[in-house]
Amino acid sequence: MLENHRRALRGVLGSFATGITVLTAGRELPRGMTANSFTSVSLDPPLVLVCVLRTAALHDLVLDEKAFAVSVLAAGQEPIARRFADRARPRGAREFEAVDTEPGRRTGAPILSGALAWLECGLEAVYDGGDHSILLGAVLDAGRGPDTDALLFYGGAFHRLAPSTV
């Protein structure tokens, strides 16, 4: 696809508002990344999917560990979303510096403190998605955080919900 077509497609896809998550994996040397390609698949059995760029540092770690966690970000967590989207962020042990987390009970993957909700998943299947892998996760554990607004992504920028006028 030509670059100008990619830009146009990115603009079209940016017309769909999404929530923002940080995906994490790893007990010993965890990794994380910001993602908005997260969705529920099934309640019975409980399944979710996430799409991860094949060249992302998190990608192979999830495949090796066969587990990952999803933290759904709250409106006040935009700095965390930006941090884990920054390709120049510190790597290794410093990647989670100044970010409060707790290890997941089932996977050991970091769960972000203050997240609106979180899920721990076992890797159920991996599907080809072009330059991404589509990761199907079986939900092992899940919970909710503070009762607050969600962080949203729309039109290439972060937003929060506005009160309904209807």
Q: Residue-wise pLDDT tens for the chain (166 aa)? A: 567 788 888 888 888 889 999 999 998 899 999 999 999 999 999 999 999 999 999 999 999 999 999 999 999 999 999 999 998 898 887 899 989 999 999 999 999 999 999 999 999 999 999 999 999 999 999 999 999 999 999 999 999 887 777 7
In a domain, 98, yes or no: yes
* Pick from 37, 106, 116, 133: nearest CA to 71: 116
Q: Is the CB of residue 52 less than 8 Å from the CB of residue 23?
A: yes
Domain that holds residue 69: 18-153
Cis peptide before 45 (omega within 30 of 0): yes
In a domain, 122, yes or no: yes
In a domain, 12, yes or no: no
What's the confidence (pLDDT) of residue 43?
Answer: 98
Distance between CA 8 and CA 3 in Å, rounded? 9
In a domain, 159, yes or no: no
In a domain, 165, yes or no: no
**156 backbone φψ class: left, alpha, beta (φ>0; ψ -120 to 50):** left
Give the number of other CB atoms < 10 A from CB of residue 72.
20
Give the number of other CB atoms < 10 A from CB of residue 8.
12
Pairing of strands 67-72, 132-144: unpaired
pTM, full prediction: 0.92
Q: Is the CB of residue 25 less than 8 Å from the CB of residue 58?
A: yes
In a domain, 74, yes or no: yes
The three-class DSSP label of residue 37 is coil
Instruction: Count structural domains, the chain.
Output: 1
* Pick from 129, 106, 105: nearest CA to 49: 129
**CA dihedral sign, ordered 85, 86, 92, 97:** negative
In a domain, 9, yes or no: no
CATH number at residue 109: 2.30.110.10
In a domain, 84, yes or no: yes
Distance between CA 15 and CA 38 in Å, rounded? 16
| Cβ-Cβ contacts under 8 Å for 105 (sequence gap 6 or more) | 120, 141
